[in-house]
């Protein structure tokens, strides 16, 4: 059988790939990579950086590319066949990873180089790669007894399957629900664009009327604008009950198994908890430091959040006689109050944020800051007709990257937004291989009468993911595992979060915020109101992020063997951040994909951690001018291009000239003034 995944390719050959190709290709590539590893181990020459560490770094390149394609499709364009394949492929990869990391002879060669690293002439990046490899072995059981290595293999296999199942359950519950409305009165308050999208969804499903789903572009406008409180309640409870219902998709037992296995794994490796294990390779270093960081923020944010909540509850009571503000009321009354305070709402702004123009805008920002140019091409294979591709070049016309963008929701695509990669940047055999980077979002589709118009929140989401993409595109390192976003997890959000700041600046908005019908530039009063409204409910937003970080640390910062009930454990973790009355029917943890399916376990705090960095970094841009080339070049040279070649704090200080000041975040959030 001719298998396109076994041929060498530059761009992913999506149109040639069939689901049946994945399993045999991955099995064959695992076998080929084993052969590469065996060649390193059997090398009779003494271990050196080149014949051991560098050889290991470049091994398995094709396997990595094919598994990236497979798992990216499992997130963006999945189906039952792919999900079943994932359950077969994940244990194979877990076994392969353990075969590699528990290979004693290979470890001995890496250790021999590591033990003599001070005598050699390794540069900074080579030293970092060597340390990363050595720690990779040590942190994954290379020093364990054979019996404990066997235990570790079993744990890793089980974890890989459980996290996949967790994600499948969340997706299944998300897609199983539809709020079918046939009376237009039930849609009162909903903007025309959202109504039209709901009618389009109903039509696609062969129904009359309107259908609201749990996909963000459908769910969020309904929660913000629909006047019917009972329907908001029904939708909110359905959203909050994903993975928590009495059906085959319940994730409670899976969570208890995941946290127990993670804890056992950490103990096997000599750590007190999963959080201790994870944070040893983060800027934060220890669970105590993370908890103290979150609690310091909580102390600053809680009074402001409580004040905002009390004001919102009083407003709802005065407006509609609501005695007790519930979770399904928050977004609705916050939107009303925001409109009254700032005379500003998404429906006024959306006509100025046509997706096509926002894309042009973010490209222009990249051009002004980093000299990048984006040229759309139809000559690249894609996995779905919605996907768009761009060749990225610099001011000299030299190739920088290939960029994929996938903007709209559809069945088989998980909620949210993310950046990923199809090909890493690396330098090998005298050639600088440029990366293939992708962002995936879920923005409202165009309708019969309107183009895709974004809420302001969606604009910031696009800038956020594009910030990650820049980190990938501008990578300029030697080794693929130190390239682009291969950095400490609490540093990876700096490039994404800093770019969001440009959305609030007049100079930036003038580049792309024009009315989709009239071409009128967004009025100055709206720009001022966007700026004014940035700190609206910032206390509550900060409290929400802190609550997720504390929940994550509660699950992973202790021995979880005494936990028997997911819901009551979660309530205890949320007790210091709770504003709304509890809802027994819902559970955050059972759909908390970031920590139980994605890579954020014991790392959710990193969003706030990186906000400290991004607020401080953006103050530097503001001082010198937000499009100042000198500052932008420093950020590119010391942060975006460097990947994980140096300690992130060293990179930050090289860019900024000093350590980050936490007060920059509190200033931007307006929390210093509120307390």
Cα 100 → chain centroid: 28
Q: Are 490 and 603 in contact (CB under 8 A)?
A: yes
Q: Are 413 and 76 in contact (CB under 8 A)?
A: yes
CA dist 41 and 52 (Å) reads 8
CA dist 58 and 87 (Å) reads 27
CA dist 618 and 85 (Å) reads 44
Per the annotation, the verdict on 45 as an active-site residue is no
* 429 dihedral zone (left: phi>0; alpha: psi -120 to 50; beta): left
User: What is the distance in angstroms between the CA of the first residue and the CA of the last residue of the chain?
Assistant: 68
CA proximity to 642, closest of 484, 430, 493, 496: 484
CA dist 556 and 260 (Å) reads 9
Q: Which of 465, 500, 538, 611 is catalytic?
A: 465
Q: Are 484 and 471 in contact (CB under 8 A)?
A: yes
DSSP string, 142-181: TTS-HHHHHHHHHHHHHHHHHHHHHHHHHHHHHHH--EEE
CA dist 462 and 440 (Å) reads 9
3-state SS record for 581-624: CCCCCCCCHHHCHHHHCCCCCCCCCHHHHHHHHHHHHHHHHHHH
CA dist 210 and 180 (Å) reads 6
Tokens of 305: 């959040």
Kindly state the greatest CA–CA separation across the chain: 82
| Dihedral sign of CA atoms 351, 417, 615, 369 in order | negative
Distances (CA, A) of 139 to 134, 265, 312, 453, 519: 9, 10, 48, 47, 57
Exposure on the CB side of residue 230, measured as CA atoms within 13 A: 2
Neighbours of 499 (CB within 10 A): 26
CA proximity to 579, closest of 302, 230, 235: 302
CA dist 427 and 592 (Å) reads 37
Exposure on the CB side of residue 312, measured as CA atoms within 13 A: 27
Query: Which residue shows structure tokens 């990873």?
Result: 97
Q: Are 618 and 504 in contact (CB under 8 A)?
A: no
| Dihedral sign of CA atoms 47, 49, 55, 57 in order | positive
Q: Which residues have C-beta within 8 Å of that of residue 191, sequence separation ≥ 6?
A: 221, 225, 346, 347, 350
Active site residues: 465
């Amino acid at each position: 059988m001719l298998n396109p995944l076994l041929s060498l390719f530059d761009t992913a050959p999506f149109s040639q790939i069939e689901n049946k190709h994945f399993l045999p290709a991955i099995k064959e590539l695992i076998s080929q990579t084993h052969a590469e590893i065996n060649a390193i181990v059997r090398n009779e020459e003494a271990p050196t950086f080149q014949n051991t560490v560098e050889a290991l770094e470049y091994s398995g390149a094709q396997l990595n590319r094919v598994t990236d394609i497979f798992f990216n499709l499992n997130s963006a364009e999945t189906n039952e066949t792919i999900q079943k394949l994932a359950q077969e492929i994940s244990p194979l990869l877990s076994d392969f990873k353990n075969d590699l990391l528990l290979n004693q002879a290979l470890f001995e060669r890496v250790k021999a180089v590591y033990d003599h690293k001070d005598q050699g002439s390794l540069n900074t990046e080579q030293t970092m790669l060597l340390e990363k490899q050595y720690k990779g072995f040590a942190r994954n059981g290379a020093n364990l007894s054979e019996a404990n290595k066997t235990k570790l293999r079993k744990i890793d296999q089980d974890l890989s399957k459980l996290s996949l199942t967790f994600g499948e359950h969340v997706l299944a519950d998300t897609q199983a629900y539809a709020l079918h409305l046939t009376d237009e009165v039930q849609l009162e308050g909903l903007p025309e664009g959202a109504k039209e999208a709901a009618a389009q969804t109903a039509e696609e499903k062969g129904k009359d009327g309107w259908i609201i789903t749990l996909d963000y572009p459908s769910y969020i406008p309904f929660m913000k604008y629909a006047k019917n409180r009972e329907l908001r309640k029904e939708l909110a409870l359905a959203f909050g009950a994903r993975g928590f219902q009495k059906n085959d998709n319940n994730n409670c037992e899976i969570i208890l198994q995941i946290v127990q296995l993670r804890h056992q794994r950490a103990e096997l490796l000599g750590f007190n908890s999963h959080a201790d294990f994870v944070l040893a390779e983060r800027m934060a270093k220890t669970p105590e430091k993370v908890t103290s960081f979150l609690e310091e923020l909580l102390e600053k944010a809680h009074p402001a959040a409580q004040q905002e909540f009390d004001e919102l509850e009083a407003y709802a009571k005065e407006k509609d006689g609501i005695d007790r503000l519930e979770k399904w009321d928050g977004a609705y009354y916050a939107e009303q109050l925001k409109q009254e305070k700032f005379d500003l709402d998404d429906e006024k702004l959306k006509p100025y944020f046509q997706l096509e123009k926002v894309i042009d805008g973010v490209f222009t920002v990249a051009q002004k800051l980093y000299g990048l140019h984006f040229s759309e091409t139809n000559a690249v294979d894609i996995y779905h007709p919605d996907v768009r591709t761009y060749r990225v070049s610099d001011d000299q016309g030299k190739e920088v990257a290939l960029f994929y963008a996938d903007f709209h929701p559809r069945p088989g695509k998980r909620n949210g937004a993310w950046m990923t990669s199809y090909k890493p940047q690396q330098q090998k055999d005298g050639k600088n291989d440029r990366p293939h980077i992708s962002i995936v979002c879920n923005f409202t589709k165009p309708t019969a009468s309107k183009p895709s118009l974004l809420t302001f929140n969606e604009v910031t989401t696009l800038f956020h993911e594009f910030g990650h993409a820049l980190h990938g595109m501008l990578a300029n390192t030697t080794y693929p595992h130190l390239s682009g976003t291969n950095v400490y997890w609490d540093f990876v959000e700096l490039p994404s979060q800093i770019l969001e700041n440009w959305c609030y600046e007049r100079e930036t908005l003038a580049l792309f915020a024009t009315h989709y019908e009239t071409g009128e530039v967004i009025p100055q009063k709206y720009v001022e109101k966007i700026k004014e409204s940035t700190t609206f409910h910032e206390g509550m937003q900060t409290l929400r992020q802190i609550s997720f970080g504390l929940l994550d640390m509660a699950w992973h910062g202790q021995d979880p063997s005494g936990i028997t009930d997911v819901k009551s454990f979660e309530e205890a973790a949320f007790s210091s951040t709770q504003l709304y009355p509890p809802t027994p029917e819902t559970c955050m943890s059972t759909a908390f994909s970031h920590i139980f399916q994605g890579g954020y376990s014991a790392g959710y705090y990193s969003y706030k951690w990186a906000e400290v960095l991004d607020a401080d970094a953006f103050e530097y841009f503001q001082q010198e001018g937000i499009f100042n080339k000198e500052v932008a070049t420093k950020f590119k040279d010391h942060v975006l291009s460097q990947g994980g070649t140096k300690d992130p704090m060293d990179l930050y200080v090289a860019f900024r000239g000093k350590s980050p000041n936490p007060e920059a975040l509190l200033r931007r959030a307006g929390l210093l003034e509120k307390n």
